Chains A and B, each alone.
Chain A
Amino acid sequence: METSKALPPITRITKYTLIDEVQQRSFVVMFVICALCVFLIRGCYQGNYIVNGQALDAGTIVRTLSKATFHVIGAVVMVITALLSMRIFRRDRNEGMQACILSKPIARWQYVMGKILGLWALSTLFMFILHSIVFLITSINLKVFMPGYLVASILCSINLLFVIIAVLLLSLLMSDIIAFLSVLGVGVAGFVADGIAAASHSQIAQAIVQQSSGHPPSDMTWWKVVYVLWPKLLGVQQLASSLIESESNHGFGPIYPLINVLIYCLILGALLFKRFRNEDIV
């Protein structure tokens, strides 16, 4: 199919997906609650923080809190995106829209692509608005201007794409709630593994391991391979958050999580298209 002919149906399905989701009461409620919670964070910026007996300056407080908020928003929007994605095919099926769309001269891949793009646009916008609230609070109220904050938000949307594709694929293979929990599990396991890896690099942890086993730990064990290949959702968030203060990155290491998640998106996307092509439309 020519690209010029293939695009209009995709954009229309994207538009309908956006409109249908925004009209859902549960979506509006989730959005309002999240926006209110982000507004409530304002109070945290005004507190006095003492670390090792020394009071932190206002700039450090703003930057540290903004970064922490950035990660929390990223993680919460990932969960919300998974919730939105898990029911998308089922709802379309139950409401007759899947049969309506696919009885028109629209290929299945165009339908799936429209759904992915609609959800991605919506969740990215959702996250961008929440991040923008933090950006505006720090810029207007606290006079700390962080232009990288919004760029980081957009970079973080790669994680949302991964979540959407993974949940959509799994929702074709298992019940919606199991699909949601599985992707949530992948995310949580990744976050925990990153935490353990960060801790294991500390001098204390290395000394403990060396003392208990009597020899230095081997460099390449099976769990390390699994860890390296696991979806690096937290890695992408950390890479994005490094843009907030224009932290310098050197070499391949820092962008590895981005490549990792993009490759997962491609592989899972290919599996999703293949699976949906053979799906019975009921």
Chain B
Amino acid sequence: MIELNNVTKRYDSLTAVDDVSFSVKTGECFALLGPNGAGKTTIVKMLLDFIRPSSGGLSISGIPSTHAECRQSIGYLAENHHIPQSLSGWQYLLRCAELLDINRSEALDQCRRIVELIGMQGRENTKVGTYSKGMVQRFGLGAALMGNPKLLILDEPTSGLDPIGIREIRQLLDSLKDQGMTIFLNSHLLSEVEKICDTAAIINRGKLLVKDSISAIVKDGETLEDVFVRLVKG
């Protein structure tokens, strides 16, 4: 589903991503882990063609990430998601549906279903300006689920959510995984990743340290957090 081949991204003298290669299979729930500034968001942005790699190539479903068609079946939730203040959550979801070329009646059906899924019934028609950060994040996740994408790219999806919200998102991701959706998760919450994901990659200072199944990365008597700290601290 996702292929990264010797991807490098340089900003002047800084190498944000250094010769990274890995792949994510269809139906896999994959976590990209790393400390702040490790290059995780840079990789996500290169996958979406928001930034171009200095060298190497990325592809989704065999289509180079530079082609708009590869984003046909991708749902994306940005870290610190923003929604225009002048819109309501409902209007935002409807806009996302229109941008995916979903017809009006189908878009309305999907919006209703998603509002229920993200637990925002009764608040969907108020302006985004009145929402908390967690509520904006929920609508962002809802927008990512619009059009039943095959691949979900989530950059810190639980950012701004309270513990109950985090648990609800985990349950939602579990159900999406069961439906066969490929999930690319960028998260700091290692305990959540350990519960949800099948495979993970850990990067530090732009370099890929490990990429394997969670069960292979986490040895007996260790937690993912222990492995993460051990690898990152060298």
A binds B: yes
Please tell me if B122 contacts chain A, counting CB pairs below 8 Å: no
Does B50 contact A281, Cβ atoms closer than 8 Å?
yes
- Annotate A12-34 by CB proximity to B: 1 below 8 A, 0 otherwise: 10001000100100000000000
Does A100 contact B98, Cβ atoms closer than 8 Å?
no
Chain B residues within 8 Å of A104, by CB:
71, 96, 99-100
Q: How many angstroms between the C-alpha atoms of A281 and B48 in the bound complex? A: 10
Most buried by B among A8, A103, A280: A103
A-B contact count (CB 8 A): 61
Query: From residue A23, how far is it (CB to closest CB) to chain B in Å?
Result: 5
Q: How many angstroms between the C-alpha atoms of A99 and B96 in the bound complex? A: 11
Which of under 10, 10 to 19, 20 to 34, or 35 or more describes the interface residues of A?
20 to 34
Q: Which residue of chain A has the shortest Cβ distance to B85 in the bound complex? A: A95
Query: Main secondary structure on chain B at its contact with chain A?
Result: loop
B interface residues, tally (CB under 8 Å): 27
Q: A100-B96, A100-B143 are in contact. Are A105 and B72 (CB under 8 A)?
A: yes
Does B50 contact A99, Cβ atoms closer than 8 Å?
yes
Most buried by A among B49, B76, B83, B99: B99
Q: Which residue of chain B has the shortest Cβ distance to A109 in the bound complex? A: B68
Please tell me if B126 contacts chain A, counting CB pairs below 8 Å: no
Please tell me if A267 contacts chain B, counting CB pairs below 8 Å: no
Q: How many angstroms between the C-alpha atoms of A73 and B150 in the bound complex? A: 52
Q: Which residue of chain A has the shortest Cβ distance to B91 in the bound complex? A: A19
Does A280 contact B50, Cβ atoms closer than 8 Å?
yes
Q: How many angstroms between the C-alpha atoms of A94 and B69 in the bound complex? A: 25
Chain A residues within 8 Å of B99, by CB:
9, 12, 100-101, 104, 106
Chain A residues within 8 Å of B68, by CB:
1, 105-107, 110
Q: Which residue of chain A has the shortest Cβ distance to B80 in the bound complex? A: A96
Does A281 contact B85, Cβ atoms closer than 8 Å?
no
Which 8 pairs between the two chains have the least Cβ-Cβ distance? A96-B82, A281-B50, A103-B76, A95-B84, A107-B68, A105-B72, A280-B51, A104-B99
**Additional pairs, 13, CB under 8 Å, beyond known A12-B99, A20-B84:** A1-B68, A20-B86, A94-B82, A95-B82, A96-B82, A99-B78, A102-B49, A103-B76, A104-B100, A105-B100, A110-B68, A281-B48, A281-B50
Which residues in B have some Cβ–Cβ distance to A below 8 Å?
Answer: 45, 48-52, 68-72, 74, 76, 78, 81-86, 95-96, 98-101, 143
Could you pull out 13 A-B pairs where Cβ atoms are within 8 angstroms? Answer: A12-B99, A23-B86, A100-B95, A100-B143, A103-B76, A104-B99, A105-B71, A105-B72, A106-B99, A110-B68, A278-B52, A280-B45, A280-B50
Which residues in A have some Cβ–Cβ distance to B below 8 Å?
Answer: 1, 8-9, 12, 16, 20, 23, 94-97, 99-107, 110, 278, 280-282
